[in-house]
Amino acid sequence: MWTSRAWRSTGVTIELGPQIDLYTQPTTVRLNGAESEDPALTRDFVQSFCAGMQSTWNDNEATDDQGWGDESVAVMLKHFVGAGAIETGGNDHTLGAKYDVFPGDNYKAHLLPFLDGGLHLDSLTGQMAAVMPNYGIAFSEDEEYGPLVGGGFNGKQLSILRNAGWDGMICSDWNILEPMQRGLDDLTPSERCKVMFEAGVDQYGGKYYYDNCGKPAYDMIAEESGQEAASELVHESARRIAKVMLDVQLFDQPYCDRSIAKAVFESEDAKNLASEINDKRIIMLKNAGGIIAENGMSGKPKVYIPVTIDSTGAVAAPCVDADLAGEYFEVVTDSVGEPSGEADKNGNPTYQESDISRLSAEDLADVAFAIVRVKNPQDHYNGFSGGTDAPRFLSEPGGPMVYRPISLQYRPYTADGPNVKKVSLAGDLQEDGSRVNCAHYGQTTYADNESDLDLVINTKEKLSDGTKLILLVEADHPMIFSEIEPYSDAILMSWERTPDESFLHIITGASEPYGLLQYQMPKDMDTVEAQLEDVPRDMEPYTDSEGNTYDFCFGLNWSGVIDDERAQTYKANPLTEPETEVKASE
């Protein structure tokens, strides 16, 4: 409700999202934009979030649903369908991650957030306004999921939505006419446009120099199927596009009022709600000895917060804001000299570890505990190196493409274990009839932030026996906790962009931990290699030194393991297919 109100107050009428792909492949690069690996949890998120965005809620009451109105924002659910089951785990903007695979025969589960979620919103608006198809190719040797082309060209896939009774707008993902023309490289942009429209796409996402493709595509359709059929296709697409515009009253009042936007963004109610949500999204994974407890800290204990260097090298500062933490603790930290590292793109020197003077064990002898904030392991290659495809997504473009593993651990990883595939399931067809092998067996990768692990280990080794280390993990992927957990007495984890203040609310006992894991945290990379790309919750999770297993739906509060209605509901076996009826294609 507050999100849609804020967006409409600044003129935004449609969200290109949310991203509701089931990320059943835990290494997939774009997992950081999704919600969960679980079909039921993602379905319920869709029903609630999209209801809140699309409806206008009168008088600030979440129970007073007005349906479409002047505070509504249409949603475009993406990506239909299977983008969380990429075989290589790479970024689907690149050719190294063009195939989605379903070795667990679990394709139907990936339909569930769209069919049981998007078609059944908890809102008078009823259904999702729009859908964006997937870049990737749903792979099957017998083309069970449609032709081996990207989702925006796959009429068999898109017909599932129509056969389920949905009449909303389908907008392609960006630039699928070129350079993202998955499976249609031998066609011209206009010919691809024809395939796209015939597949069921109503609106092309992205310009990319092809404004003139529509007319030739229309003429080709008219020549093959007749003028009447071509005209009907265009008119139906125009009707669906116009309906979205009418639903959000784009023609009624297209202007914004600065005073209204200012009032929305300065609302104390919205601010308080955001603070509460930020606190609740933190997951407490470990709390040895109950060091984090309700109102558990008296006075202002002395706390060490080490300095870290940001990913650009431009900033070296305490890993938790020292001024903010100073409201709760007596903060001690490292000192920083002048930057002496390599120059950045603007010619300014960057910081390196030697520019930081770390506090010694003697300096830390009387601290009550240390707070260290890190990121989860950030894989260097994101699935492959070399090649010339989409260089903005590559660390090392140029030369032959080498498929590499995507690691969830800090230390370097070589994919040579017993569960690593030696031959990929999918790959481009070659002239001799074989397929390109996209497997990463024998290849090595590493994390760009291995130093985060070193910082935790070195800090722990300098602390006195009675001094505790509280680890804050800012994550965008599942991770291997076996490397870092033993050096931590308490662990708080959150998914990207959580304010320092919210972590401090939990540490000081002002807010009780509430969050639960929406992904499994795997025991090791071998179990990651063993999992099936399309199947959720099929890994052996990590068990920590306290005996707690970091499985889906795990989380601690002040009393111990959370076992509330949420946990009991979603711990059930994962759903495998939608309840929504889909009629057979005519």
**Quick one: 22 and 118 in the same domain?**
yes
Same domain, 70 and 88: yes
Asked whether the CA dihedral 323, 326, 328, 331 is positive or negative, the reply is: positive
Q: How far is CA 44 from the centre of its chain?
A: 17
- pTM score, whole prediction: 0.95
The residue with greater pLDDT, 9 or 375, is 375
Residue 160 lies in a domain: yes
In DSSP terms, 170 is beta-bridged to: 131
pLDDT for the residue 389: 54
Residue 394 has pLDDT above 60, yes or no: no
What the block records as the tokens of 289 is 């000895």
3-state secondary structure of 43: helix
- Which pLDDT tens digit goes with each residue over 141-152? 999 999 999 999
- Residue 369 to residues 69, 292, 473: CA-CA distances in angstroms? 52, 11, 17
Residue with tokens 């609106």: 203
DSSP secondary structure string for all residues of 325-348: HTTTSEEE--EE----S-B-TTS-
> Which of 271, 274, 297, 294 lies closest to 284 in space, CA to CA?
294
Omega before 79 within 30 of 0, i.e. cis = yes
For residues 306-312, give the mean pLDDT: 94
In terms of residue numbers, what domain contains 461?
Answer: 270-376+449-570
Say if residues 406 and 89 touch (Cβ distance below 8 Å): yes
Q: How confident is the model at residue 80 (pLDDT cuts 50, 70, 90)?
A: very high
Confirm whether 70 is domain-assigned. Answer: yes
pLDDT band of 388, cuts 50, 70, 90: low
Task: Report pLDDT digits (tens) over 408-463.
Answer: 999 999 999 999 999 999 999 999 999 999 999 999 999 999 999 999 999 999 99
H, E, C per residue of 497-533: CCCHHHHHHHHCCCCCCCCCCCCCCECCHHHHHHCCC
Final residue before a domain boundary, out of 448, 473, 491: 448
Question: 453 and 390: one domain?
Answer: no
Q: Are residues 106 and 133 in the same domain?
A: yes
Closest CA to 579 of 114, 151, 126: 114
How do residues 225-267 score in pLDDT, each as one tens digit? 999 999 999 999 999 999 999 999 988 877 888 888 888 888 8
425 and 566 together in one domain = no
**How many independent structural domains does the chain possess?**
3
Is residue 579 included in any domain, yes or no?
no
pLDDT at 295: 78
pLDDT at 211: 65
Mean pLDDT on 316-342? 96
**Whether 108 and 181 share a structural domain:** yes
Q: Are residues 343 and 418 in the same domain?
A: no
Residues 230 and 290 both lie in one domain: no
Per-residue pLDDT tens over the stretch 91-130: 999 888 999 999 999 999 999 999 999 999 999 999 999 9
What is the predicted pLDDT for the residue at 176? Answer: 93
Please report the pLDDT score of residue 559 as a whole number: 93
> Closest Cα to residue 529, out of 448, 416, 390, 370?
416
Question: Which of 431, 448, 465 delimits the end of a domain?
Answer: 448
On whether both 437 and 526 belong to a single domain, the answer is: no
Taking the CA atoms of 183, 187, 189 and 193 in sequence, report the sign of the dihedral they define: negative
Q: Are residues 54 and 72 in the same domain?
A: yes
Per-residue pLDDT band at 196 (split at 50, 70, 90): very high
Q: Poorest-confidence range of 274-278, 286-290, 477-481?
A: 274-278
- The CATH number that applies at residue 499 is 3.40.50.1700
Does residue 583 lie within any of the structural domains?
Answer: no
Chain centroid to Cα 499, Å, comes to 18
423 shares its domain with 493 = no
